[in-house]
Structure 1
Amino acid sequence: MSIKVAGVSKYYKQQLALDDVSFAIEKGEVVGFLGPNGAGKSTMMKILTTTIDATNGEVAVNEYDVQKNRNEVRNSVGYLPEHNPLYLEMYVREYLWFNAGVFNISKEKIEDVIEQTGLAPEAHKKISQLSKGYRQRVGLAAALLHEPEVLILDEPTTGLDPNQLVDIRSLIKSFGNNRTVLLSTHIMQEVEAICDRVIIINKGKIVADKKLEDLRKGQQQVVEVEFDYRVEEVLLKRIDHVKSVRNVGGFLYELTFDTDTDMRAAVFDFAHDNQLKILKLDQQNQNLESLFRELTS
């Protein structure tokens, strides 16, 4: 078991931040930890990384107790906090060498991590010169230096532009090939793009714990598409399995399908056949959106 949390509560003076929280994560899972702002996500992650202690309950990472075996936990966990703590005056390689010294890691490993996180084109620069997306890559590289078995990422895509989002999501998803990833976020698209399972927390309590494939079963699929011209809704309704069409505004349409088969290919074919260009195309998990709103509103 990579992570085991049993009956954990956390008080900040009189304020209850976590209320009898329990969950377990198997090795190799990529799990989305969802909740609105202030739900307790960051507090739980700080406990998992030994940054703070729980008031009550038991927590183990890679079967090490987070209070009794702090060093072992820190050696097996890579952590990217919500506010990525970087020394902006340092160069990228200099910063990674500085972090590597904590774990007595060779310079060859630093170059491996730079390559793995796509930092090579910017590695000669000062961190202050980097975009937000590349700064996040530096934080991820530092978290990966000691080859941790568990990655804990707290809001890793906050503030990124759409292109940076795609790159960082792809990078995080690749980490799940050989390690456990716990990803904190309040963005549904993050979970859809990266995770196998979702845990939802609200007001310090776990209110849902489900696999994404279970949420997709029997769901009402929604595809949001933007064309370069206005399209008659009657034409869009001819696409297979379309249940309803809604013009969101301008050339943006929301198509609801009565199937859980990915219908984006059908929308692409429709655009091609009608000589249209697609400017935007998103698929939404209506069940996940609905569940989140229901449990956290």
Structure 2
Amino acid sequence: MNQDVLVRAEQLYRYYGEHCAVKDVSFDVRRGEVLGLLGPNGAGKSTTMQILTGNLAPSSGQVWINGIDLLDKPKQAKHGLGYLPEDPPLYRELAVKEYLSLCARLNRIPQNQQASAVEMVIERCGLKDVTYRLIGNLSKGYQQRVGIAQAIIHSPAVIILDEPTVGLDPIQIREIRDLIRQLAQEHSVILSTHILPEVQAICDRVQIINQGKLVLTDTIVGLSQRMQTTSILIKLDNPPTKEMLMSLKGIDSIDIERDGRIRLCYGPEQDPVDELVYRSVNEGWRLRELTPERHTLEEIFVAITQTQDSQEIVS
């Protein structure tokens, strides 16, 4: 296995009775990469995460963590994992430092290194101001920080985070996202979320899972290209006929909005704006408004998942 590949999943299936929650899921995660696992509720994200962390056995398929087979050598493989479930495994009656000291022992960090490991994660996760406070008295944001601290205290190669910003306020969300980006400098991170802006903010690559299947794998750069402008809205005081507008280079279709604005849809790399402006001036169309339209990640997500849903219904 390539040394830069820290997680490899091959042909994962998971059945609950006759229901198949995960269907033939395969992917790699490389060193220093943040992979976003995206999907609607019930799509199979959490089941996939539980399989990757060894908390749930696949019905079939294999997982390697840092080159170690998770099923054959679970203890050795899990040593290279840090995991933050959606509900952080916190002992609310303990102070932050007490809890992290316990986590250091549970992760079998040598006794003479435990204190330095605790101080390291307190520093990295911004917990200095709450070191001696009870976890149960902390805000949701700080509790998430403590949850991340326990996941990285043993310096694992791979960190798996399930919905790390759910329930946080905007400031806390920004802080946790910054922390995840910092962690990605030294670890590989798998991030499960249904919050679309989160994917764009912190991930290098995204995989969309729907009905247990991976329906899209792409880089953020690739997604950005999918989101490129492919239509413009215009308003003309003296609009020409549809036939004249269709004669513009690259125009595929035209829609008339209720407010009189016109949507011009065109093919990739066929931007008609220059010709539109030129002809508007020379032919007296009197252009009043021109607004490029971009596909949002939400539109791409909905289009992909709804298309797959309809295919499942047909089949």
Shorter-chain TM-score tier: 0.7 to 0.9
| Aligned twin of 1:194 | 202
Match of residue 173 from structure 1: 181
For residue 220 of structure 1, report the CA deviation from its aligned partner: 3.9
2:164 matched to which residue of 1?
156
Cα distance in structure 1, aligned partners of 2:21 and 2:88? 22
Give the deviation of 1:5 after TM superposition: 1.1
* 1:287 CA drift (Å): 4.5
Establish whether residue 70 from structure 1 lines up as the match of residue 74 from structure 2.
yes
Higher mean C-alpha displacement, 121-130 vs 19-28: 19-28
Query: What residue number does 2:29 align with?
Result: 25
Q: CA deviation at 1:128?
A: 0.7
**Mapped partners of 2:300, 2:206: distance in 1:** 11
The answer to whether residue 302 in structure 2 is matched with residue 293 in structure 1 is: yes
Q: 1:218 to 1:69 in 2, by over 3 A?
A: closer
- Supply the distance in 1 between the matched residues of 2:209 and 2:30 (Cα, whole angstroms): 19
The one-letter amino acid of 2:304's match is: L
> Residues 285, 127 of structure 1: CA spacing in aligned structure 2 closer, same or farther, 3 A cutoff?
farther
Deviation at residue 28 of structure 1 after TM alignment: 1.4
Distance 1:286 1:27 in 2: 30
In the alignment, the residues of structure 2 paired with residue 2 and residue 104 of structure 1 have an alpha-carbon distance, to the nearest angstrom, of 21
Once the two structures are TM-superposed, the CA of residue 213 in structure 1 deviates from its matched residue by 0.6
CA distance, structure 1, for counterparts of residue 224 and residue 63 of structure 2: 31
Root mean square deviation of aligned Cα: 1.5
Distance 1:52 1:74 in 2: 13
Structure 2 match to 1:95: 99
Give, in whole Å, the separation in 2 of the partners of 1:23 and 1:114. Answer: 33
User: Tell me, what secondary structure is at the counterpart of 2:79?
Assistant: helix
Shift of 1:218: 6.4
| Partners of 1:218 and 1:165 in 2: CA distance | 26
Q: Please, which of 117, 121, 143 is the counterpart of residue 113 of structure 1? A: 121
For 2:202 and 2:12, locate their aligned partners in 1 and report how far apart those are by CA, in whole Å: 26
The amino acid across from 1:128 in the alignment is G
TM-score by length of 1: 0.77
8 A contact 1:199–1:210 mirrored in 2: yes
Hey, what's the Cα distance between the residues in 2 that align with 1:151 and 1:129?
Answer: 26
Q: Secondary structure at the match of 1:16?
A: strand
Output the CA distance in 2 between the equivalents of 1:98 and 1:35.
34
For this pair of structures, how many residues does the alignment match?
A: 235
1:66 deviation in Å? 1.1
Task: Give the structure 1 partner of residue 44 of structure 2.
Answer: 40
- TM-aligned CA distance change 1:43 to 1:13, over 3 Å: same
C-alpha separation between the residues in 1 aligned to 2:95 and 2:167?
Answer: 22
CA distance in 2, matches of 1:127, 1:144: 18
1:112 aligned partner, one-letter code: M
Task: Tell me the secondary structure at the aligned position of residue 217 of structure 1.
Answer: helix
Q: What's the CA shift for 1:42?
A: 0.7
User: How far, CA to CA, are the matches of 1:109 and 1:5 in structure 2?
Assistant: 30
Gaps of 5+ in 2: 230-292, 307-315
The corresponding residue for 1:264 is none
2:219 and 2:297 map into 1 onto residues whose CA distance is 10
CA positional deviation for 1:104: 3.1
The answer to whether the Cα contact below 8 Å between 1:33 and 1:182 also exists between their aligned partners in 2 is yes
Structure 2 CA distance for aligned equivalents of residues 54 and 188 of structure 1: 27
Q: Return the match for 2:88 from 84, 89, 95.
A: 84
Is the 2:122–2:131 contact (alpha carbons within 8 Å) kept by the matching residues of 1? yes
Shift of 1:40: 0.6
Structure with higher Rg: it is 2
Q: Is the 8 A contact 2:11 2:60 kept in 1?
A: yes
Which residue does 1:266 correspond to in 2? none
Native 8 Å contact 1:49 1:73 kept in 2: no
CA distance in 1, matches of 2:104, 2:64: 25
- What letter is aligned with 2:165? T
**Contact 2:65 2:78 survives alignment (8 Å):** no
Give the C-alpha shift of residue 288 in structure 1. 2.4
Distance 1:35 1:70 in 2: 27
| 1:286 positional shift | 3.3
Alignment-mate amino acid for residue 152 of structure 2: L
For structure 1, which segment, 117-126 or 56-65, has the greater mean C-alpha deviation from structure 2 after superposition?
Answer: 56-65
1:269: which partner in 2? none
Question: Secondary structure, in 3 states, of the residue corresponding to 1:9?
Answer: strand
* Residue from 15, 19, 25 that aligns with 1:11: 15
1:216, 1:285 within 8 Å by CA — same for their partners in 2?
A: no
